[in-house]
Amino acid sequence: EDQVTQSPEALRLQEGESSSLNCSYTVSGLRGLFWYRQDPGKGPEFLFTLYSAGEEKEKERLKATLTKKESFLHITAPKPEDSATYLCAVQGIGDDKIIFGKGTRLHILP
């Protein structure tokens, strides 16, 4: 059964304090791993897709990396506006569906 586990559940950082969010996954044949950002009261917003181990994607202060068992979302010198819940999801080969993790709530203190 496909599974996605995110850690930590919540993370509080000072502005400028870099850190990483973890997404561990189990899937029989990875088609893609996705990262989303969700602000309170809004729908998830797509950030990245990673397809194979070793791949990296960057967007502003965010960098996503992928291994065969997990993905990391690295946040460099975060700002208060980076505060949000970050969701990880996976899709298996031949599957129309995406399985989501429960998310990491990130709070950046000014």
Partner 1 sequence: NAGVTQTPKFQVLKTGQSMTLQCAQDMNHNSMYWYRQDPGMGLRLIYYSASEGTTDKGEVPNGYNVSRLNKREFSLRLESAAPSQTSVYFCATGLAGKYEQYFGPGTRLTVT
The residues of the shown chain that bind partner 1, judged by CB under 8 A, are: 31-32, 34, 41-46, 49, 87, 89, 91, 96-98, 100-103
Nearer to partner 1, 65 or 85 (CB): 85
Nearer to partner 1, 14 or 97 (CB): 97
Q: How far is the CB of 35 from partner 1 (least distance, A)?
A: 10
Q: How far is the CB of 77 from partner 1 (least distance, A)?
A: 26
* Three-state secondary-structure class, residue 92: strand
Helices assigned H by DSSP within 20-101: none
Instruction: Name the nearest CA neighbour of 76 among 49, 103, 58.
Output: 58
From CA 54, how far away is CA 51, in angstroms rounded? 9
Q: How far is the CB of 5 from partner 1 (least distance, A)?
A: 11
Nearer to partner 1, 68 or 97 (CB): 97
Cα angle 69, 31, 104; round to 5: 50
